[in-house]
Amino acid sequence: MVIPLDSSALNAENVYIKELIFEVGNLTTIYLDEIYLVDGLEFPLKGTRAYTTKINGVFDHFRHADSVSRNKECPNNTVTAYTGEQGVKGENNTPGTDYSLWSYTSCSSTLYGLPKVGGGAFSIGGQYDQSAESNESGVFLFYDGHAGFDYPETNGTKVHASADGTAYHYTYPGLPEDEYPIRIDHGNGYESYYLHLSTRNVADGTPIRAGQEIGSVGEDHLHYHLRFWGELVDPYGWTDTQNSDPLRPYAVSVPLWK
């Protein structure tokens, strides 16, 4: 990811730069390793908080999500959550023994769940959905090629903008147009995405304030993801203190939530 020197990302009022890496032989290019909004992001579901809301689908730190074909299991056979917990598929590739297969009829696709290294249930900061019916008691880490997080929520729950910006109607490959996806350009390199909505309350190109209601949940969950200058990033950052983030140097390695 290359950011020009005159980029608005270098606005000192809302950005903190922790590390600069200069490319040898081209000192006009700066690589930003850890950069984030000082003001942070508001969580898109009012009445809940980022670190207490249940999660049943994760952002994969091991491999860039866009490089994974939707409806396929992670080709490197490993999924790594922001806590460093890993789900790894076994060697014999036998369904039902080393990974779980679910039919995800709302998207006409298949969800793949990978078991935890060493066995047991995943925690994901104590947020991972432990429901036997919806997530097989938390013993499989699910990942279906998407770029962010799935938050189980009652249909009709209001969804709010994470930060100031401009809202746009959004077409996502493979997503029905009647699910009203929204992209918000925050004007500083960051864009937030809200998928599987049952309603959309903002016209295309509408200026948005942080916390403003933009739509409501459909499909029994909200999918939320974040991009920084086009690169997928994790709003939870990287919390594992024993190992470095597998997505470095293109990861945002600090939490972005308020």
The answer to whether 218 and 43 have CB atoms below 8 angstroms apart is no
Q: What pLDDT score does 229 carry? A: 83
Whole-structure pTM value: 0.79
Q: What pLDDT score does 65 carry? A: 46
Q: Give the residue from 184, 177, 189, 179 showing the smallest Cα distance to 231.
A: 189
Per-residue pLDDT of the chain (258 residues; tens, 9 = 90+): 444 444 444 444 455 455 545 444 444 444 444 444 546 899 999 889 999 999 988 898 876 544 444 445 565 677 889 999 988 876 554 444 566 766 544 444 566 678 887 788 999 999 999 988 778 889 888 765 667 899 999 999 999 999 999 999 987 666 666 678 999 999 988 999 999 999 999 999 999 999 999 999 998 999 999 998 888 889 998 999 899 888 776 677 778 998
Q: What pLDDT score does 69 carry? A: 45
Structure tokens at 19: 């590390």
Residue tagged 């459909």 (tokens): 218
Q: What pLDDT score does 22 carry? A: 47
The answer to whether 120 and 102 have CB atoms below 8 angstroms apart is no
List the chain domain ranges.
69-146
